[in-house]
Amino acid sequence: MNIFEKIALSSFDYKVYWKNRNVKIRQRLLERERIFFNWIKPKIKVLDIAAGNSGLLSLLKKDKMCDVRAFDISQEVVDAQNNAGVSASARDVSSDNFNISDKYEFIILSEILEHLPLPEVLMKKIAGKSEFFLVSIPNAAFYKFRLQLLFGRFLKQWVFHPSEHLRFWSHRDFLDWVDFMGFDVVEYQASNGLDIWPFKFYKYMPNLFGHQICYLLKTKNK
């Protein structure tokens, strides 16, 4: 029995997941990370919450001279980010004691909100800690998931354990949610989805054809 089979027989634990996975920092950016990179301004302070093995912060530090910080629940990830030149610390964002003392120009929340039972709590804690927030989520209204529902299967958005994804939004639902949470959507862009050359359908109809969607948010003026 391999490690992922063992994980699947117990509650999903990201500490175990990263401890037994290659946490080498990725040199190549994912589609969503390229969008974030283009949105982030040079020479500003950036925090990535639940950074994983993303190389985005390293590239921001190198190419845009940003002051970068990373949080992650896994000490293995923290060590890998520190070794890559990123100031990182082990933090559990779902903990009641989680808080952010510093302020930033950009806070990144990439593929993390759907893993939390109450992402509202996290958003309230960080609302005054940054000028902008970069969020990416899987789109529950993606056309493949709609087809699964049509044929009697609920959308599957996990790899190793069913408890990986706890919250689900369509693109339209997420727009309503961030408005309720007190944020304005400055810009959004689907990072991938239905792509039949030469047409990238996900760029024009993200709610139907976008698989992952990126959002640039800003706290509403009160």
Q: pLDDT tens digits for 29-81? A: 999 999 999 999 999 999 999 999 999 999 999 999 999 999 999 899 999 99
Supply the pTM of this predicted model: 0.91
Q: Could you list the beta-strand ranges (E) of 22-165.
A: 45-49, 67-72, 87-90, 104-110, 130-138
Residue 2 confidence (pLDDT): 52
> When comparing pLDDT for 106 and 15, which is higher?
106
The token pair at 139 is: 């789109």
Interior angle at CA 142, CA 219 and CA 26, nearest 5: 70
Report CA-CA distances (Å) from 93 to 27, 165, 197: 25, 15, 40
Whether residue 14 has pLDDT greater than 80? no
Interior angle at CA 191, CA 72 and CA 112, nearest 5: 25
CA distance 88 to 94: 17
Residue 11 confidence (pLDDT): 59
For helices 56-63 and 31-39, what crossing angle results, to 10°?
A: 30
The SS3 of residue 37 is: helix
Q: What is the pLDDT of residues 176-211, one digit of tens each?
A: 999 999 999 999 999 999 999 989 999 999 999 999
The token pair at 201 is: 């359908």
Structural domains in the chain, CATH included, are 3-219 (3.40.50.150)
